[in-house]
Structures are given as C-alpha cells and as structure tokens.
Structure 1
Amino acid sequence: MSEQDPVTGFAIAVVREEGKWRCTTMESAALSELDTAITALRKTRSTGAVFGLFDVDDQFFLIVRPSPGGVQLLLSDSAAALDYDIAADALDLLRVDPPTDYDDDEVWPEGALDVLADIGLPAAELQVIIGEVDLYPDEQLQMIAQRCGFADELGKLLDTMDSITQ
C-alpha cells in the first residue's frame, strides 16, 4: 500500500497491570508504520505486560510486544509484506524474506508464536488461531483476547470504536 492509500482496521494497546486488563486505541499511523507502533507501545508505562494488536485492512494481524532487549513480533501472514509497508517492516525486523510463491488459501505466519505464552496463549494454540483462514483478523484477535482473558475489555473498546465510525 502506498502512503496515499488509507489503511483501515484498528491499533490497540493492551496492558495488564496488577491482574487487570486495559485496552486503549492507538493513533491510526500505527497501522501503517511499524516504528510508530513500537514507539507508542514503548511510551506505555506499566509494570505488567504491554503489547499491541493490529488489524490491518481486514487482511492480516500483527502483534507487537516491546521488551527491554528489543521487540517481539508476530505477523499472521508474511505474504502481506508484498502489499503493506508495516508487514514488510516487520519481516525486515525479523530478518525474513517475504514468500515468493504462495497460495491465497494458506497463511505464512512469521515471528514469535510464543509472544503471548506467558499470559495464557501457548504457541501451538496461537498457530491454530492463525490457521483459521475462514476468520477475519479481528475475529482471530478476539479469539486471542478470549484465551488470554481480556475479551470483555477488547469487545467494549471495539464496540465504542464501531459506534464512532457509524
């Protein structure tokens, strides 16, 4: 996608502090610029888990989790790097080339499948969710939220966002 084309979807920062979850929207630029997303998440101060959930154009999702030693990323479909800058940037950061020969019915996740393992979502389960190609990215992210325990918070925020855009 070129910089002129608007990217739809959502960018949400998720924080778990003292056993409670909080979801907040991030600026829309975080959907198209990985550096913007990482910088915004790093500014989110918390003693607990902080990560971002990004639904980009209902095509793929990205999970970004900054840590003191760098950043963990999970891109649900590396083929998205052929059309979206944020996906290409994610693969660059992961030092992975985009696929050259791929099937539209198959997804090619790249990155840390264990990115949320410490908060209740093992890599194998995340792989199953990503493999559900009949689901849209927002539905997959809602499944992730359900499994980790912040589905109510995410649902309320998405409902609020939907009512604003309608």
Structure 2
Amino acid sequence: MHMTQQEPVNGFAVAVVREDGRWRCSKMDSSALSELDAAITQLRQLRSTGAVFGLLAVDDEFFIVLRPVPGGVALLLSDAAAALDYDIAADVLDLLRVDPPDDEDNEIWPEGDLGVLSDLGMPSHELQIIVDQVDLYPDEQLQMIAQRIGFIDEFTQLLDTIQA
C-alpha cells in the first residue's frame, strides 16, 4: 500500500442499505473516495441486518461497487486501467490480487466480482452490460444499477443534495 497524501478526489460515495424491505442511501465521508480501507470501514460501521454496499463514482472516470461479506469484501472496479492513475483503484486490484494493466492498454474492462449484487436483482451479465456503456459517466451507470435494483428514488434524492 503506497500511502501518498493526495488532493481530495472528485466524485461521490454512497452507502446503500436495505433493511426491512426498504432502501436507504446515505453519503459516505469523502475519504472513501481516496482510500479503500476508509470506504470498507465506513460500510462495516453501518451494522445493518440487511444488505449493505457502497457505490463510488470517482472523478467522472470509473465506479467501484464494494460490499462487505463474511471474511472480506466483494469488489467490482468498472475500469481496471484506472489503477494506473488512482490510488483507490490500485487498492482494489491489490485486494483482488490482480496486476494493473499496461499503460499501452486502451481497452476498458472491469475487474472483480460482477455478481456482487446478483442476489439483489442485478445479475452479473446485466452489470457487465452497464460496465460496457463506456460513453456514460459513472454516476449514470450507478443510476442504472439503482434503477434495476429498485432504489433509484432514494439514490437520486441523495445525489441531488450531494451535487447541489
């Protein structure tokens, strides 16, 4: 882990909780955008009995889905090449034990678990389709996920307050 002090990263981090059949979205601390450990810790502190996961949109470049699971964390990074420029993306690949791609590689491909939300109604092949929409911004891709799983209203309400 390279601990470089860096400027705040643009974007947003949202914690999503499903409890008693209802969705709740809350803003995560901005440290979640620059440090994976911070994001994981914040999600674990929510201590919900239901599903808990984080949606991070970083710098209009890529998104990360992370979900604490027993014994670890399930992760999806929408663009593996982001690890060359962003510490948090590099941290994801570290945790996944995946080497970052070469600089010359212009392909965009995801790394991690496309099935991270499959039990919530987002099958891996559909998540792959969203990842493949490379002309969309990450917040638009995350809204597609929210729409599909069923918390789009809560998500967009929160985004309106974050981005206002």
Counterpart of 2:80 in structure 1 is 78
Aligned-pair RMSD on alpha carbons? 0.9
Q: Deviations over 1:108-139 (max 9, x none)?
A: 10000000000000000000000001100000
Q: 5 Å matches for 1:88-99?
A: 88-99=90-101
**Cα deviation, residue 148, structure 1:** 0.5
Partner of residue 7, structure 2: 5
Q: Which residue of 2 aligns with 1:37?
A: 39
Which TM-score applies when normalising by structure 1?
0.94
1:4-23, aligned counterparts within 5 Å? 4-23=6-25
1:161 Cα deviation after fit: 1.3
Shift of 1:93: 0.2
| Cα deviations by residue, 1:72-112 (Å, 9 ceiling, x for unpaired) | 00000010000000000000000000111311xx3110000
Q: Does residue 161 of the first structure (1) align with residue 155 of the second (2)?
A: no
Residue in structure 2 matching 1:102, options 94, 101, 105:
105
Partner of 1:49: 51
Q: Distance in 1 between matches of 2:120 and 2:71?
A: 19
1:152 matched to 2:147: no
Deviation of 1:144 after TM superposition, in Å, equals 0.4
Which residue of 2 is the match for residue 141 of structure 1?
142
Q: Please tell me the residue identity of whatever aligns with 2:123.
A: P
Give distance in 2, aligned partners of 1:113 and 1:74. Answer: 6
What CA distance in whole angstroms lies between the structure 2 residues aligned with 1:57 and 1:3?
17
Structure 2 distance, partners of 1:156, 1:34, is 25
Q: Which residue of 2 aligns with 1:115?
A: 116
Gaps in structure 2 of 5+ consecutive residues: none
2 CA distance for matches of 1:44 and 1:8? 23
Task: Report the Cα distance in structure 1 between the residues aligned to 2:108 and 2:93, rounded to whole angstroms.
Answer: 15
Letter matched to residue 71 of structure 1: V
Q: Which runs of 4+ in 1 moved over 3 A?
A: none
Query: How far did 1:45 drift?
Result: 1.3
Distance 2:10 2:163 in 1: 12
Contact 2:19 2:49 in 1 (8 A): yes
The alignment of Structure 1 onto Structure 2 pairs a total of residues equal to 160
- Displacement of 1:5: 2.4
Q: 1:4 offset after TM fit, Å?
A: 3.1
Q: Percent identity?
A: 69
Contact 2:8 2:30 in 1 (8 A): no
